[in-house]
Each structure stands twice: as structure tokens, then as C-alpha cells.
Amino acid sequence: MTVSRALLKSRSGSAGLVLVGLLLLSALVSLVWTPYDPTLARPRDGWLLPFSGGHVLGTDRLGRDELSQLLAGARGTLLTALLAATIAAVVGLALALAAVLVPRWIGAAVVQLTDVLIAFPVLLIAMILTAVYGGSTWTVVTAVGVGAGVNLARVARAEAGRVLNTDYVLAAHAAGSGTWRTVRKHLLPNIAPTLVVQLSLVLSVAVLAEAALSFLGFGAPAPAVSWGRMLHEQQQYIAARPLLVIWPGLAVAASVLGFNLLGDGLREAADARLRIREAR
């Protein structure tokens, strides 16, 4: 309640909310309605200019409606980002808890493993997975989710270590709380603010990675619509029809910016709450 109010107050937070809201709205609208079938090619209607032939943003070489593709692309982008963030949260939390809760030598091994995995760029993991299993939404989601998850694990581990060393965790144990109960009731709620901020950044990374992979041809294959592939298909005609490249590019940039700003806003909001708590 107080967090959402603080979020609306911060400039970056409200800007992020608007951009992310726009993405969410496009994705939801595309579920029930797009001006045309985004995958329907009508070569006779190719290269239509904006506001001609009933196409608000014009059509591409194959006569596919640009606006419909953008809307459908939002759905794919959002789905990929959310799934990747979910995987990242699960992987990150599992690794972090494994590092702090188990006997020290196992924990050290988990930490080493995490550090090694961090060295692999997300895009590289995705390309390897695609080479082996073929391109699909799941390949992208898994690669980005695991890649972001190990990064998340590092932050979550530090935060979990801090919380586990607090007096209130000691007090909970002194009251007879078992390990899992302490994790559930005391550890998770207290690392949640940090995790939420990190996850919003994971979302922005996922949007960017999905676009990049599709652009490079490692993304979900047709008929799935993706902003990255729109960019890829239009780039050779950029001189003739720059707008067809600018729109999907803008969509990617706005989504990434939106999640980043949202993350910033959330951090400010959480900090403000912490400040109040400390001050009293």
C-alpha cells in the first residue's frame, strides 16, 4: 500500500508503470483483437504507406499489417519476459538458499558453480541451446531464465546471508522455529523487496534478449510474431521504409526502458520505506 503510493510519487516509477502498462495493454488487446491477422501475407497489398488501404501503420513487403504485428509481438515479448523472470526467480532463490542453508562445503560448491555460470553470457547459452534443440520460445525462456537466475542468485545470496545473521532470525530459532519455517516467515518476506527490484531488471534483460535472439534468427520460428524478427526482416529495406524498422525498434526500447524505470522506482520506494523504518 505504502509502496505503491511511493512508486506513483517517484517520477521514474510512474513513467515505468505507464510504459509497462502500455506493453501489457497491447498484449491483452492482441489476445482478442488485432486490425488484421498479423501473419496473413497479401503480397498484392505490400509496401502500403501508413493510413492507406485501411492499414494505420502500413504494411510490409508481404502485405502484413504493421500494427497487428506490433500488437502480436507485444504478446510474445511479455510472455517470454514473464516466463524467463519466473524461471530466474526459481533458479535464483533455489541457488541462494542452497548456498546459505546447507553445510558450508556444499554451500561453497554452489557458490562456485554460480560464479562459473555467471561467466557465460545469456545470448551464448541461448545460441547453444538453439543449436541443440532448435529455436522456440522455450529455448529463449530457458536460456534467459537460467542466465538471469544465476545473476539473481548472487544478489539473493548476499541478502539472505544478511537476513540470516539478524537478531530476529536468531530470536525465531530461540523460540523453536525450524529452518523452513524461519525461511518462510522471516527470510523470504525480508529479502522480497530486493528480489522484486532485481526481477524487474530481469524482465528488461529478457525483453532485450528475446529481441536480440529473434533478430539473429535464434528465436521462436514463424508463425510466431516477434519484434526482433520484424527488425530482422525489414532491415534491408530501411532506406525505403524506415518507419517499418523504427516502430518495432521503438517498441523494444520502450519496453526495456519501462521495466528499467519500474525497477528504479521500486528500489526508491523500497528504500524510502526502509528509511522510515530506520528513522522511527
Partner 1 sequence: MSLLTITDLSVRIGGATVVDEVGLELAPGERLALIGESGSGKSLTALAVMGLLPDGARATGSIRLGGRELLGLGDRELSRLRGERMAMVFQEPMSALNPLMRIGKQLAEPLRLHRGLNRRQAATAAVELAAQVGLPDPDLIVRSWPHQLSGGQRQRVGLAMALATRPALLIADEPTTALDVTVQADMLRLLDELVHQHGTSLLFISHDLAVVTRLCSRAAVLKDGRLVEEGATGTLVRTPQHPYTQRLVAAARATGTEEVTR
Residues contributing to the site for partner 1 (CB under 8 A): 104, 166-168, 170-179, 181, 185-186, 189-190, 276-277, 280
Residue 175 or 222 having the CB closest to partner 1:
175
CB of 92 to partner 1, least distance (A): 20
Residue 52 or 166 having the CB closest to partner 1:
166
CB of 172 to partner 1, least distance (A): 7
CB of 187 to partner 1, least distance (A): 10
Cell of 255: 519496453
Residue 2 or 52 having the CB closest to partner 1:
2
CB of 93 to partner 1, least distance (A): 17
Residue 136 or 190 having the CB closest to partner 1:
190
CB of 201 to partner 1, least distance (A): 22
Residue 179 or 235 having the CB closest to partner 1:
179
Separation of alpha carbons 279 and 211, rounded Å: 44
